[in-house]
Structure 1
Amino acid sequence: MDQHLFLFGGSPPFGRSHGKQFASLCNQRDGHVAIFCLNRKGWQSYMSKYQHILEEEGVTDFRYYLLEETTLINKEKITGMIICGGDTLSYHHYIVTKRVGEEIKQLFQEGVPIAGFSAGALICPAYCMVSPSDYNGEQRMILNGLGILQGYIIAAHYTKWNEKQNLIAVMTETKTEKGLGLDDEASVYLKNGQIESLEGKNVHIFE
């Protein structure tokens, strides 16, 4: 099975090109797109930002998995997965360290596409870089990630958070050969771990 990963440097919506590509992959199966998010005030009204471009491309069925309350997911009915943005440490805790993360990883390996926005993108590699700007801390953190993307370190909000120094330092510390700095309105589509296309401004690639 081909594996499809869409990584976004900031908040939704999808860019038109990558939204169309993601929707096309989802529409090849019968079922729903799973949206994984935190249970925060007003989360319901925010979901339209993730959905509207996909809806224009024919995706009509969405199910919401509030991470604080989710222990198992119905894997047989999922056609695509969206991991929302927000507090990276919380997403790491509720996905990477829980059984849900293993289920997400299994679905991805079976060809179900994933779109990760900001925090959702950061947790995808083998190592998850948490910027001081992300949690109002003094030092960057390096945590184990989902591991669905090998050989890359991801930095979200790259220009806004001035992440170049952090990204290169974490690449060096983890002996990771490649880095992707994603600006807020930028995204990258990787197929089988290789970059297929870029969208928006700007994607910064380091090797």
Structure 2
Amino acid sequence: MNKDSYLFLFGGNPSQEEASVAFAKKAGGAQAKIALLLIYRDGWQEYLPRYTKYWIEDGVKDKNIHVIISDQNGKIDYSYAKEVIQSSTGIFIGGGHTETYHAIYTSEPFKSLIQNKYNSGVPIAGNSAGALLSTTTVLLSPIDTNNEKAMIINGLGLLSNVLISVHYTKWNDAENLKKGLLKTGIKIGYGIDDQACLIFKNNKVHSYLGEEHVHILEIEE
């Protein structure tokens, strides 16, 4: 029988102490091996502590945090990535350009690797782009796309029958989320503020953490 599955969805800031510590503990605390999935950006190394600071303070060893990142041409060392993910006790998908994250991490081999780990009880977390891509159906805000138009695309499929919106209040994304629900026929959407984290346990809402809010939008039958 599989262990409980946990999914941590950060709305915009990956450096939320309570949520970061909760994820690290579920990943094994001092025994955790965390795979951090990112895409290349200038100065990415300087950005790492925003993810890792509270993990390390909670006892995760720096040597057991393994970064998977594309190079400047979008290429990934797949053999290294597969080894890291398969040995991980927690997976965190970072934030940045969502369409690039989508192109890399919702494709194979990553999609199956991540799904298999999630289904075996390894906690998965995502910030901003990483949170958006966790669902079967992904709604992108016009603010978040190259053509400045809302998009509906396929995600990792860890959660079904919900839509997620990130940077919800900051991006004033309520109307986009409502239109996405009506267009897809999905009945419930969650708008996650930058300083908030929505946690699912066994694909059901478990808790809300952070200094801001998770907004729930439901479409009536």
Matched, 1:65 2:68: yes
Other-structure match for 1:203: 214
Write the distance in 2 (CA, Å) between the matches of 1:111 and 1:179: 24
Other-structure match for 2:18: 17
Other-structure match for 2:126: 116
Matched, 1:99 2:101: no
Which of 155, 159, 162 is 1:149 aligned to? 159
Cα RMSD between the aligned structures? 1.6
Q: 1:23 to 1:31 in 2, by over 3 A?
A: closer
SS for the counterpart of 2:78 is coil
How much does 1:31 deviate? 5.4
Write the distance in 2 (CA, Å) between the matches of 1:169 and 1:98: 30
For 2:66, the aligned partner's letter is R
SS for the counterpart of 1:159 is coil
Task: Name the TM-score, length of structure 2 as normaliser.
Answer: 0.88
Other-structure match for 2:150: 140
| Residues 137-184 of structure 1: CA deviation (Å, up to 9, x unaligned) | 342000011110112100011111111111011111111121000111
Conserved? CA contact 2:145–2:151, under 8 Å: no
**Aligned pairs, number:** 206
How much does 1:28 deviate? 6.5
SS for the counterpart of 2:195 is strand
Write the distance in 2 (CA, Å) between the matches of 1:57 and 1:178: 34
Write the distance in 2 (CA, Å) between the matches of 1:138 and 1:179: 21
| Residues 74-129 of structure 1: CA deviation (Å, up to 9, x unaligned) | 24420101100000000000011231121111111111111100000011111111
Instruction: Decide which moves more: 85-94 or 166-175.
Output: 166-175
Write the distance in 2 (CA, Å) between the matches of 1:142 and 1:29: 39
Unpaired stretches in structure 1, ≥5 consecutive residues? none
Q: Percent identical across equivalent pairs?
A: 36
Where do 4+ consecutive residues of structure 1 move more than 3 Å? Answer: 28-31
How much does 1:24 deviate? 1.2
Task: Name the TM-score, length of structure 1 as normaliser.
Answer: 0.94
How much does 1:32 deviate? 1.7
| Residues 45-87 of structure 1: CA deviation (Å, up to 9, x unaligned) | 2111100111111111200101431424124420101100000
Write the distance in 2 (CA, Å) between the matches of 1:19 and 1:195: 17
Q: 1:58 to 1:37 in 2, by over 3 A?
A: same
For 2:7, the aligned partner's letter is L
More strand by share: 1
